[in-house]
Amino acid sequence: MGNRLFRIYYRTCIACGSNCDIVGEESLEAVEEIVMALRRNAHVLGHGWVFRAEAGIHDGVVNEIVEAIENGSAGSIRSMLEAGWRFEAAQALYVFLTRIEQPLIPVSIQSLVLDNNNANIPPEMVASDVLGLIKEQLPPTHIRLLALILHLLDCSIKLSPADELRGHTLPVSMLPVFFNIQNHHLMREWRRIITIFVEIIRQASSALNVFQHIS
């Protein structure tokens, strides 16, 4: 990339060590099993279900799937999905993501979104720069994890009502998984941050270009 924001943050990302991985290959394969199943059934399940605990959800199954993700037991997850535990798998995936000890987007890269100095830069450009840094700086497994989750969010948003407030409910709920969001960010700048995050979600499929093998 050659744009201005990339040049500003490139050295910062190197210095902060943003190439540290956050997920193992086996756990990533387990995540992919869940994402594939949820994408295949998205239109059947409808909007508003992904990453939200539903009434009557089986907590024991959720915990079992979380453990299977952490252990990289893709076969066990496949069997449970075939048995119909889709809502539980979605909730387990969310739990797994919240247990990762750092946000999915490294601090040095998420600064592009959270930095108030970028307030006048178009959200589309900021999102493009964030995805460019992700592709340039992060290990392949980290990139695939981000791509899988962002694409799943995109699928869910596309099934959501057109109303702006309701359509942004899912991105708002997922902000803490991707960013170090503080209260002052939410009070002063949440609309700008959410707009950029939605753009990141929308652009991720083509920008990260890793979906051919799961389409």
pLDDT score of 56 more than 90: no
Neighbours of 46 (CB within 10 A): 12
pTM: 0.82
Contact in structure between 167 and 160 (CB atoms under 8 Å) = yes
pLDDT digits (tens, 9 = 90+) for 104-144: 999 999 989 988 777 789 999 999 999 999 999 999 999 99
Q: Compute the average pLDDT of residues 191-195.
A: 87
Average pLDDT over all residues of the chain = 80
Cα–Cα–Cα angle for 53, 174, 65, rounded to 5 degrees: 45
Q: What is the 3-state secondary structure (H, E, C) of 75-123?
A: HHHHHHHHCCCHHHHHHHHHHHHHHCCCCCCCHHHHHHHHCHHHCCCCH
Query: What is the pLDDT, as a whole number, of residue 74?
Result: 93
Question: Could you tell me what percent of the chain has a pLDDT over 70?
Answer: 73
